[in-house]
Amino acid sequence: MTSAPLAARLTRVAGPLFFPVTAYGPDGALDLGAFRAHVGAGVEAGAAAVFACCGTGEFHALTPEEFRACVAAAVEETAGRVPVVAATGYGTALAVEYARIAEEAGADGLLAMPPYLVVAGQEGLVRHYTALAAATSLDTIVYQRDNAIFTPATIVELAGVERIIGLKDGYGDLDLTQRTVSAVRSERPGREFLFFNGLPTAELTGLAYRGIGITLYSSAVFAFAPDIALAFHRALTTGDDETVNRLLDGFYVPLVELRNQGRGYAVSLVKAGVRLGGLDVGEVRPPLSEPHPDHVKALAVLIERGRALLPEDTALSGGSGADGRGAEAGR
């Protein structure tokens, strides 16, 4: 954990936001060695931040003790080079408990997942996130998706809460997002409030979000093909739309079509991709299930196709995968 404010460290990042998978051994227990290798390789590859134990990291499947161990391992592995943001969630009491565990483990901030199961009104959501933000000294990013959809007025109110620094949008309503951005800009002038594109395979909507001024996004692809993710990020942020569109048409759109062939593939297919890169991070925990073997084979082919589309001067040396050893290492 560093003294620099999280919002400042995330305002103008030079790489994708990395959401590592959580590694398990053959017996299903945590494999902290593999997790450390995965996190370390991501930071070395150019991640701008590590979001540990979030959706891709199977937050829902971790006990508090496992959560603490993973967050602490991520903090130790990054060694202050990039910020570590940890998930928190469930009802308010449990969200506060996980937030305090993350703080004790050295995290720089929190990604607040939607409350468990309930569909709350706007007043209740404000109470929940306000209480969560007050429970620790960590800056908090609110995650909009599923049963936690906010009106612009609610985000304006949350933007006035100390230690709530941003909104990650996993809902994808661009009309609502634009109105929310405009409301915060108009009603909280001078407030440094961050907006993130948090949709699954966020690169697919990167051009649309860039159009309304949102350039921060989570990259699941970075977990298993950092060279492709970095090339796309560089092209998107520099206005190289030719490269953006080439990667969209040849890699990201087919990837989304593959991801949509199975429930839970936003996590399990990513984890399969990490294994294809040569690092054994184990399988997903129930209630998620492994992707069909044919879909894993299709992913391997797609990764190679994506790498063939990269400009020569942007590919990482050797086409490194999640552990830096190359996509062929795990085949």
Count the Cβ atoms, other than its own, within 10 Å of residue 111. Answer: 28
- The CB-side HSE value for 125 (13 A sphere, CA atoms) comes to 25
| Given the residues 24, 98, 129, 168, the one annotated as active site | 168
User: Is there a catalytic annotation at residue 168?
Assistant: yes
Is residue 291 classed exposed, middle or buried when 0-12, 13-18 and 19+ CB atoms within 10 A define those classes? buried
| Given the residues 143, 209, 217, 265, the one annotated as active site | 143
Is residue 238 classed exposed, middle or buried when 0-12, 13-18 and 19+ CB atoms within 10 A define those classes? exposed
Backbone angles phi, psi at 84, to 5 degrees: -110, 120
User: Is there a catalytic annotation at residue 209?
Assistant: no
**Which H or E run includes 50?**
strand 49-52
List 164's β-bridge partners, or say none: 140
Instruction: Calculate the dihedral angle through the C-alpha atoms of 216, 220, 221, 226, rounding to the nearest 10 degrees.
Output: 70
Catalytic center residues: 143, 168
